[in-house]
Amino acid sequence: MSDVGTIDVKYRALAGRLDEAMLRLWAAVEARTLGRGGVSTVAKATGLSRTTIYSGLKDLGSPPSSAPPAAVGAASARRIRAAGGGVRN
């Protein structure tokens, strides 16, 4: 299976289980693992923008936040976007 096919299978398995920030970090790790051309390959496989993946790479380079890790089931209780971000109803 090609890199694109392998990443596509992983992405489909994780997409519904991870929040936006964690998907961005996962995509960045995949791109970093592939090396040169990894960002484009991951973008092609997942449909995520290259800007999003580069943002994830930047996040990986910064130290983790000092906030305690949330439980896996509590991911939806954490705020992912800034206040006022997202769709308005």
| 79: its two tokens | 């705020």
Note whether residue 45 is domain-resident.
Answer: yes
Residue 63 has what pLDDT?
A: 75
Note whether residue 80 is domain-resident.
Answer: no
Question: C-alpha dihedral over 70, 73, 76, 77, to 10 degrees?
Answer: -60
Note whether residue 76 is domain-resident.
Answer: no
| Domain housing 49 | 3-62
User: Cα–Cα distance between 21 and 7 in angstroms, integer?
Assistant: 18
Note whether residue 79 is domain-resident.
Answer: no
Note whether residue 81 is domain-resident.
Answer: no
Note whether residue 16 is domain-resident.
Answer: yes
Note whether residue 88 is domain-resident.
Answer: no
Given a contact cutoff of 8 angstroms between Cβ atoms, the answer to whether 60 and 32 are in contact is: yes
Say what the pTM is: 0.71
Between 77 and 18, name the one with better pLDDT: 18
Residue 86 has what pLDDT?
A: 64
Residues 12-67 pLDDT 10s:
999 999 999 999 999 999 999 999 999 999 999 999 999 999 999 999 988 766 55
The tally of domains found in the chain comes to 1
Residues 5-14 pLDDT 10s:
999 999 999 9
